[in-house]
């Protein structure tokens, strides 16, 4: 690490690697575990009037309040909607499994759903994607949904957590579920799960620290750092976080919440990487995406800019799931038995994101190319 805490910048040369698909490089079953809020995305292209009516901003994600209650039914009644298995963490895990193209399930996932049709859709999607799920089922509460309002290829998300909000640590502690934690080499949660089960996150993060496994967390949305109890839970988790993800908006919100006078995203990344860490054997890596602008990676006192391959504007259908897909691609290289270079992880992340923005929602089509 850098003793003077100076941050140096460099842009790597563009190199081309071929992902080796030999079995020796395929992760073991259950190598990656995600824990989060499973939501069924209800996606539709909507007019500006609809966004204004419910006070929605593009490129933002919020939790549904009482005023948003009618919007879900209104979308179904007035616009052609698509139902897509979603929830940020679940999206990343599905993309990770797709990128690996392994015959067995390398990826597991936990969260809470209801005993209903939407929950069945979620199970079917996970099975189709070869993701091993252990859902806690809440008999009394419907499966959570997320309204995905698309306009001009941008999206605004409104999550009605419902059953997803009721995940309990007791489910995690069941022997068959804790066995999934023990099998995992890499564990990932979106920051959204902080609003539901911070105790589950902390238990798994501490396990990862003790067993020298990799714990990954996403900032996920500005509100996670703007609401005091959520920020508190995030700060408690951070010492255990090996990889911290976010986008430029979340990075600036995080900087403000931490009381830093940083206006530069790469400076925020460097400061976040230097925050205290429990497992001293592994430096924290901070990865901030910036849409089509460079992806920033801070580790060991250095911030590296990775250019993002351009996607033609006319090819972009909607940006819903782009950040989740980036993490999924990244994790697909991070979990390999043979260590990959960080540039491979970023390249895989940007490739996965470029696939997802060309379709509606977080859907994987065909097979990923060998990069």
Catalytic residues: 324
β strands within 24-103, DSSP E: 32-35, 39-45, 60-63, 82-86
168 CB burial (10 A radius; 0-12, 13-18, 19+): middle
**Structure-token match 């690996």, residue found:** 100
Are 172 and 182 within 8 A, CB to CB?
no
3-class secondary structure, 307: coil
Query: What is the token pair recorded at 148?
Result: 């995905």
* CA 199, chain centre distance (Å): 19
- Cross-strand pairs, 245: 218, 287
Cα-only R_g, the chain: 19
Q: How many residues does the chain have?
A: 371
Beta bridge partners of 112: 136
Would residue 259 be called left, alpha or beta, if left means φ above 0 and alpha means ψ between -120 and 50 degrees?
A: left
Spatial separation of the C-alpha atoms in residues 99 and 127, rounded to whole Å: 16
Which residue from 79, 50, 73, 45 is spatially nearest to 150, judged by alpha carbons?
A: 45
């Amino acid at each position: 690490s850098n003793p003077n805490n100076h941050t140096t910048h460099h842009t790597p040369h563009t190199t081309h690697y071929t992902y080796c698909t030999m079995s020796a490089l395929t992760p073991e079953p259950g190598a990656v575990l995600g824990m989060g809020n499973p939501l069924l995305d209800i996606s539709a292209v909507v007019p500006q009037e609809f966004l204004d009516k419910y006070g929605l901003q593009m490129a933002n994600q919020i939790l549904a309040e009482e005023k948003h209650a009618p919007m879900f039914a209104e979308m179904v009644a007035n616009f052609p909607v698509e139902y897509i298995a979603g929830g940020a963490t679940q999206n990343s895990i599905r993309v990770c499994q797709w990128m690996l193209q392994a015959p067995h399930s390398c990826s597991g996932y936990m969260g809470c759903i209801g005993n209903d049709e939407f929950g069945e859709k979620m199970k079917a999607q996970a099975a189709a994607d070869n993701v091993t799920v252990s859902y806690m089922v809440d008999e009394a509460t419907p499966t959570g949904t997320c309204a995905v309002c698309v306009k001009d290829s941008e999206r605004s998300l409104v999550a009605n957590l419902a059953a997803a909000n009721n995940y309990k640590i007791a489910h995690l502690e069941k022997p068959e579920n804790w066995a999934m934690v023990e099998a995992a080499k890499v564990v990932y949660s979106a920051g959204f799960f902080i609003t539901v089960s911070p105790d589950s996150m902390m238990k798994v993060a501490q396990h990862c620290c003790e067993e020298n496994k990799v714990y990954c967390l996403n900032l996920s949305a500005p509100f996670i750092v703007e609401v005091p109890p959520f920020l508190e839970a995030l700060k408690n988790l951070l010492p255990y976080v090996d990889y911290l993800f976010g986008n430029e908006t979340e990075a600036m919100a995080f900087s403000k919440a931490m009381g830093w006078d940083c206006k530069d995203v790469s400076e925020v990344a460097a400061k976040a990487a230097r925050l205290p860490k429990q497992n001293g054997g592994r430096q924290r890596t901070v990865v901030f995406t910036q849409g089509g602008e460079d992806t920033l990676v801070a580790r060991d006192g250095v911030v590296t800019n990775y250019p993002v391959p351009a996607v033609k504007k006319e090819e972009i259908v909607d940006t819903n799931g782009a950040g989740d897909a980036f993490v999924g691609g990244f994790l697909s290289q991070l979990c390999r038995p043979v260590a990959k270079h960080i540039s491979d992880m970023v390249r895989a992340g940007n490739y996965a994101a470029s696939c997802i923005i060309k379709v509606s929602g977080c859907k994987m089509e065909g097979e990923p190319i060998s990069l």
